[in-house]
Each structure stands twice: as C-alpha cells, then as structure tokens.
Amino acid sequence: MSEVLELDAAGFGEAFFRDPAAVYERLRERGPAPAMRVVLPNGWHGWLVTSYREARELLADPRLRKDVNEMVKLFPPGSAAAYGSLLSRHMLNSDPPDHTRLRKLVSKAFTGRAVERLRPRVEEIAEGLLAAMTAGGPDRVTDLVESYALPLPIMVISELLGMPPGGWSDFRGWTLAWMTGQSQEDVGAASAHLAGYLTALIEEKRARPGDDLLSGLVHVSDEGSGLTAGEVLNMVLLLLVAGFETTVNLIGNGVLALLSNPGQLGLLRSRPELMPGAVEELLRYDGPLHTATVRFTSEPVQAGDVEIPAGELVFISLLAAHRDRSRFADPERLDIMREPGGSLAFGHGIHHCVGAPLARMEGQIAIGRLLGRFPDIALAGADAPRYRKALLMHGLQALPVTIGAPVTT
C-alpha cells in the first residue's frame, strides 16, 4: 500500500488557493497517493481524492452518498455551516430515488435544444455589457468580474427563472454569506434572508404565473405528484446559485488563462471556430470548481490502493484530477487544440451538472464576444490575481484589465 499523506489545515494557505496545481504537484512528488487524509480549516476531517481515474470512478460510485440529513452527522458540532440549513435539502444533496424525481422535473429546461433557444438573448446581454464597459474610455482599469463575468450569467439565469430585474447585490451577498459563512449565526441570518426573498417570489408566481421556469416549478405536476413547498424553495435556490457561480468562474478564470498565454490567445483570435474546444480546455486547465460537492462513504471504498473507511467525508479535487499526468499529456500547458474530452468540470455520473450545456454556451459567447470587441485587452497591474479562499468554488475575487479601443460594428 502506498503512503497515505496527511494534509492539515495549515496546508490550505494563500499559496494553495493561488496555485493549487503547484501544491498538488509537490504532494505527488512526496509520494503519489490517489487519496489523502485532510483536515479543512473549518475542522472537517475527510479524504481528498487527487488522481483522475479514482476521481472519475468515485464521482459515479453509489457507495459515495450525498444525503445531507446523514452527512451533517459527520461534521464536528457547530461546523455544518450551509449544510445545516434547511435550504440545503435540494437535489444536489440527495440520493435516488429523491434525486431522480427532482432532477427529472428540471432537466428538460437545460437540454441542448432548449439552451440553444436562449442563444440570441445571451448574445444580446453580452453585447450590452460590453458596450457599457466602453463608457469609461479605453485606458480605464476595469474589474472584468464585476462588470462582465458576474452580471452576464446572473441576468441569464434570472430571466430563465422569471425573476424581476434588480436586487442582485443583496441576493449575491446573502448567497456568499450562506455558502462561506464562518459561524452558524452568519449562515442562519443569510438563510433567513434567502428564504424570505424566495418565498415571496414563489408566492408571486403562484398568484401570477408566467412563461418561465419558476412558474413551471411552482405549478408542476409529475405524474400527478408535484413538488412540496420546501422542495420548490430549495430547487430555486440551487438553480440560482449553481446557475451563475460556476459560469462566473468559467469566464473569469478562462479570460485570465488566455491573457496569460498570448500564443493561445492569438491562435483563438485567428481561428474563432476553435472556441467550443477552447472552452473545454479552459474548463480543464483552470476550472470553476476546486472540488466536487462533498460526499460520504456508506461502506469502505477503495481508491486505488488506498481504502477509505465507511462513514468518512470525501472531497474529490477536480483541479488535481485535471493536472494528472497519467490522463493528460503536459497538463500544466494550456492547449486549445488539445483533443477534447475527459473534463470532470461539471462532474460525472448521476450528479453531472444539469446546467452544463447552458454554462458552456455562456462561456463560449462571453469569451468570444469579449475578445472580438477588445483586441487590445490586457491584464492591469503587476499584482498576482487573487482567488477566493474556498475549497468548492475556484474563482477570482477580481480581474483588473484594460480594454483598449473597441472594435466598432
């Protein structure tokens, strides 16, 4: 049996969030193990899976469960954070048959055909945001996250769900506090705000339904059995948070990767038809999620030559899997011509992200339109970009750029 490495909370420092791939590479050099014991800064004990083959297998292994009612029993007292909230009882934190039933109700809204119908509106939103960015002049430093990467997916998912425009600064603040709160008091307060906001919105749709996904969820009937009030509330929150957080990071991380690799940027500019494959490579190279959402073992599970006992939390590192040399040649190199396939950025198995087609389309449009509008866009300042300190989401706190003179049409 290979050595099982132990990584304590001190290992999750600034360097880890700035360049997790380098940290994983050093761990592999010490003694490659497909899984290692970890202690997270919040006190959670579990196993971090870092190899591609084991990551892919475990993502689809039914012995790794997600039932949040059982999972919270494995957290140290007072550390459940968002998982201790009733708002976490949604399909992403459930197992079959509940997961199967809930996923069926929303999957039709995110098929390739359904998503393609949204393309003209996504393009229109992108063009509007790009036009607004030119208002301060070509030499002004712009935070691309706040001005573009964040509002684009927020506007798309809010329109898809039928939410009223505006009010997103409060909503995003609540979701961030709910997801990353350091105390149960902070998480509880954010949960109360979110529940109140969404409950009022649901009641509005019940009284005055529209042609939108939220109205459909409120009034849905699946073979004579509809969602409970709590399931509607939790489903809406999941779709909203998952509908923009991942795409924000895809756009921000992707643009940073291209601006940091001018050869690849130039190739993509000269051959815009490469954009779909480029987005797949960007998802692999510096994806929007650090780890998959947490799971736990219902019985002992083998990860390569490491046995993970029953009743243990498991964190599957997608970033580490995507830099595994046994799966990807020269994984540290951005290569938009790389043969597509193999990305785990949206998960694998029954919990594969239902919104993946929408996120891919938004990423292709957002990055393509940005590069087409601003041929001289460049990173601003010499400071290294700062990533959020989170083990789930892997995204930039800000991305300062200068946009240069726009191409006019």
User: Alpha carbon of 263 to those of 86, 250, 336, 401, 407: distances in Å?
Assistant: 48, 20, 10, 18, 21
Q: Which amino acid is at 307?
A: E
Whether residue 238 has pLDDT greater than 90: no
Predicted TM-score (pTM) of the model is 0.92
Residue 182 lies in a domain: yes
Residue 1 lies in a domain: no
Q: How far apart are CA 326 and CA 370, in angstroms?
A: 34
Beta bridge partners of 38: 7, 46
Which of left, alpha, beta for 290 (phi over 0: left; psi -120 to 50: alpha)? alpha
Q: Which structural domain range is residue 198 located in?
A: 6-402
Give pLDDT, residue 86: 76
* Tally of structural domains, the chain: 1
Residue 229 lies in a domain: yes
Give pLDDT, residue 223: 42
User: Alpha carbon of 376 to those of 148, 290, 406: distances in Å?
Assistant: 17, 30, 8
CB 76 within 8 A of CB 56: no
Whether residue 153 has pLDDT greater than 60: yes
H or E element that contains 297 = strand 295-297
Give pLDDT, residue 233: 86
Give pLDDT, residue 182: 61
With cut-offs at 50, 70 and 90, classify the pLDDT of residue 214.
Answer: confident
Higher-pLDDT residue of 92, 177: 92
> What average pLDDT does the segment 171-197 reach?
79
Residue 122: CA count within 13 A, CB half-sphere: 24
- Residue 164 CB contacts under 8 Å (≥ 6 apart), including other chains: 201
Residue 408 lies in a domain: no
Question: Is residue 305 exposed (0-12), middle (13-18) or buried (19+ Cβ within 10 Å)?
Answer: exposed
Dump pLDDT digits (tens) for 301-315. Answer: 999 889 999 999 999
Residue 407 lies in a domain: no
> What average pLDDT does the segment 259-283 reach?
97
Dump pLDDT digits (tens) for 24-54. Answer: 887 777 666 788 888 887 788 999 999 999 9
Dump pLDDT digits (tens) for 75-90. Answer: 988 887 778 777 788 8
With cut-offs at 50, 70 and 90, classify the pLDDT of residue 262.
Answer: very high
Question: Alpha helix locations (H) across 134-274?
Answer: 144, 151-161, 168-180, 184-207, 213-219, 229-259, 262-270
CATH number for 107: 1.10.630.10
